[in-house]
Amino acid sequence: MHVIKYTQIYNKNVCDAILLMKMSDYEKERFDPTQFQESIVQGLNQTGTDLEAVAKFLDSSGAKLDYRRYAETLFDILVAGGMLAPGGALSDDMTRTHFCLFTAPEDVKTMKAYAQVFNKLIRRYKYLEKGFEEEIKKLLLFLKGFSESERNKLAMLTGILLANGNLSALILSSLFNENLVKEGLSPAFAVMLFKSWISEKDINSVAASLRKVGIDSRLMELFPVNKRSSDYFSKYFTDAGLKELSDLAHNQRSLGTRKELQKEIQEQMSQGISFKEIIAYGREEIKKSSISEQKMIGIMWTSVMSSVEWNKKEELVTEQAIKHLKQHSPLLKAFTTQGLSELTLLLRVQEYCYDNIHFMKTFQKIVLLLYKVNVVSEEAVLKWYTEAHLAKGKSVFLEQMKKFVEWLKNAEEGEYRSQLNMMVSLFSHIKEITLLFQNPNLRRKQMKTEPRLLHFGMRNRSDCR
C-alpha cells in the first residue's frame, strides 16, 4: 500500500513539473518580442506605403497580438522600422521593415498622415497612451543616434501630435538632457517641432499647453549655460522664423520679473517700510527692468490689496477698503502719472471687485475715493465708462457709476462755460489794453479814470503765459 501511495505522489509531481515546463514554454513563445516584431513587420511589408491599410492592420492585430506587453517594440517599429538598441541604433539581429516614419518622405502631408495612424491606434487601444508618451520621451533622448532627416521627421510628427492633443507637452523635458543641449541638438529639434505645432495651432494654444506642465518657464534650458541669455534666445528663434516663440519667452520672463517684484513690494509693506522708499524702489525697477508704468500700477494695486486680511461681511468690507486705500493712495498716485496708467488701474479695480464677490457693491466707492485723492482723473473715469470697461460685471458696475458719471459730465460742462466766459472777458480787456498802448493820449486819460483796467489786463496776460 505504501509503495502504491508513494508511486502516485511521484507521478503527480512529475506531471505537475511537465505541465509547468509546457506552460513556461507557451508563455515564452507567446510573449517573445522577436515573434511579435516579425508579426508586425510582416504586416507592414504587406500594407506598404498605404497608411490607411496600415491603420486597419494595426487595428485588427491588437486582438491577436499583445500590444500592452510590447508597446515599446510596436512604436519602435512604426517609427524606426525595428527594435531600437540603447542610443537609437537598430538592433542588428532583428527583422526590420522599410515602411516606417524614418523612411517616409520628409514633408508635412506625409507626417500628418502618420500622425493619423498613431491617433487611430491610440484611440482604439487607450491603454497605449502612457506607453506612447514614454516612447516619444525615449526617442528624444536618442536624437544623436538619428540622422538629420530622421530628427526632422520626428520633430514634425511630435509637433502635430502635440497640436492634436495626442501627447502632453511634458515629453519636451527630454530635450533638456545635458548631452543633447551640449551638442546643439535640442534647440535645432525645437525649431522644427514648434514650427509644426504652431502651424496647426496658434501661439496662445501652444503657450497654454507649455504653461500647464511648467515647461514655459524652462525654454532657456534648451541652450548651454553660457548661451542662456534673453538676447541669444530671442535672436536664435527669430532668425529661425519663430518670433512668436521668442515673444512668448520674453513675456514669460517679464511675468517672472513682475511676480518677484510684487513679492518684494508686499514684503516691504509687511516690514513697515515707508511709502517714500517703496515708491523709490518701484521707480528704480521701472528703469532697471524696463517695466511700463501700466505694469507697475497693476503690481502696486495687487500688492496693496494683498497686504490686508479682508472682512468677509459685505457691509463691513466697504468701510475697511476705503480706509485702507485712502491710507495707501500715495503708492497708487505715484504710478498713475499717465492717462493710460489711470485707465489700467480702473480696469484692475473692476477685475478685483468682480473676482471677489463681497467687493461687488464697493466698486463705485473705490473709484470715487481714487478720484477725490487725485489718483484718477475725470477723463479716465469717463473713458472707462463710455468705452474702455471690461465685460466682467459690466452691467452692475456701469449702473453703480451712472450718477457719478452724470455729475462729472455736468461739472465738466459748468467748468467749461466758466472758463469760456473768463476767456471772453480776458480777451475783451486785452483788446482795450491794446488800443490804450496804441494811443498815448487815450492811455493817459483812461489811467486817470480807470487805473485798475490796465492792471487787470496785465495780470491775466501773465496768467495765460
| Domain CATH number, residue 330 | 1.25.40.180
DSSP code string of 379-443: HHHHHIIIII--STTHHHHHHHHHHHHHHHHHHHHHHHHHHHHHHHHHHHHHHHHHHHHH-HHHH
Higher pLDDT, 444 or 76: 76
CA atoms within 13 A on the CB side of 243: 0
Choose the most confident range, by mean pLDDT, from 228-232, 373-377, 459-463.
Answer: 373-377
Residue 325, judged by CB atoms within 10 A of its CB (0-12, 13-18, 19+), counts as buried
Q: Does 424 lie in the same domain as 294?
A: no
* The predicted structure's pLDDT at residue 257: 78
Q: Does 198 lie in the same domain as 65?
A: yes
* The predicted structure's pLDDT at residue 129: 94
DSSP alpha helix (H) spans, 334-387:
339-355, 363-372, 378-383
Q: Does 312 lie in the same domain as 178?
A: no
Query: pLDDT tens digits, residue range 271-330?
Result: 999 999 999 999 998 888 778 999 999 999 999 999 999 988 888 999 999 999 999 999
| Mean pLDDT computed over 55-84 | 93
CB 242 within 8 A of CB 194: yes
| Mean pLDDT computed over 139-158 | 96
* The predicted structure's pLDDT at residue 453: 41
* The predicted structure's pLDDT at residue 462: 34
- Judge whether residue 200 has pLDDT over 50: yes
| Mean pLDDT computed over 434-462 | 45
State which of 377, 392, 407 marks the end of a domain.
Answer: 392
Question: Comparing C-alpha atoms, which of 231, 143, 264 is closest to residue 192?
Answer: 143
- Judge whether residue 17 has pLDDT over 50: no
* The predicted structure's pLDDT at residue 191: 97
Rg (CA), the chain: 38
- Is residue 42, in this structure, part of any structural domain at all? yes
* The predicted structure's pLDDT at residue 22: 44
Q: Does 145 lie in the same domain as 69?
A: yes
Strand partners, 84: 90
Q: Total structural domains in the chain? A: 4
Confidence label for 88 from pLDDT (cuts 50, 70 and 90):
confident
Question: Comparing C-alpha atoms, which of 271, 269, 277 is closest to residue 302?
Answer: 269
Higher pLDDT, 19 or 164: 164
Q: Does 53 lie in the same domain as 15?
A: no
- Is residue 223, in this structure, part of any structural domain at all? no
Q: Does 452 lie in the same domain as 335?
A: no
- Is residue 402, in this structure, part of any structural domain at all? no
- Judge whether residue 463 has pLDDT over 50: no
Question: Comparing C-alpha atoms, which of 190, 200, 214 is closest to residue 119?
Answer: 200
Grid cell in block for residue 109: 502631408
Q: Does 286 lie in the same domain as 137?
A: no
- Is residue 408, in this structure, part of any structural domain at all? no
Give the C-alpha separation, 285 to 291, whole Å.
Answer: 7
Query: pLDDT tens digits, residue range 212-240?
Result: 998 988 999 999 999 998 889 999 999 99
* The predicted structure's pLDDT at residue 49: 87
State which of 392, 423, 451 marks the end of a domain.
Answer: 392
Query: pLDDT tens digits, residue range 400-438?
Result: 999 999 998 887 655 555 554 555 455 555 555 555 455
Give the C-alpha separation, 181 to 223, whole Å.
Answer: 6
Q: Does 93 lie in the same domain as 179?
A: yes
* The predicted structure's pLDDT at residue 251: 79
- Is residue 93, in this structure, part of any structural domain at all? yes
Q: Does 439 lie in the same domain as 386?
A: no
- Is residue 217, in this structure, part of any structural domain at all? no
Query: What is the domain range of residue 5?
Result: 1-30
Q: Does 451 lie in the same domain as 317?
A: no
Q: Does 294 lie in the same domain as 178?
A: no
* Contact partners, residue 249, CB within 8 Å, separation at least 6: 219, 220, 230, 233, 234, 237
Q: Does 53 lie in the same domain as 20?
A: no
Confidence label for 94 from pLDDT (cuts 50, 70 and 90):
low
- Is residue 158, in this structure, part of any structural domain at all? yes
* Contact partners, residue 206, CB within 8 Å, separation at least 6: 194, 197, 198, 248
Higher pLDDT, 337 or 31: 337
State which of 203, 226, 261 marks the end of a domain.
Answer: 203
What number of residues does the chain have?
465
Question: Comparing C-alpha atoms, which of 307, 294, 214, 229 is closest to residue 264?
Answer: 307
- Is residue 365, in this structure, part of any structural domain at all? yes
- Judge whether residue 192 has pLDDT over 50: yes
- Judge whether residue 41 has pLDDT over 70: yes
Query: pLDDT tens digits, residue range 336-373?
Result: 999 999 999 999 999 999 999 999 999 999 999 999 99
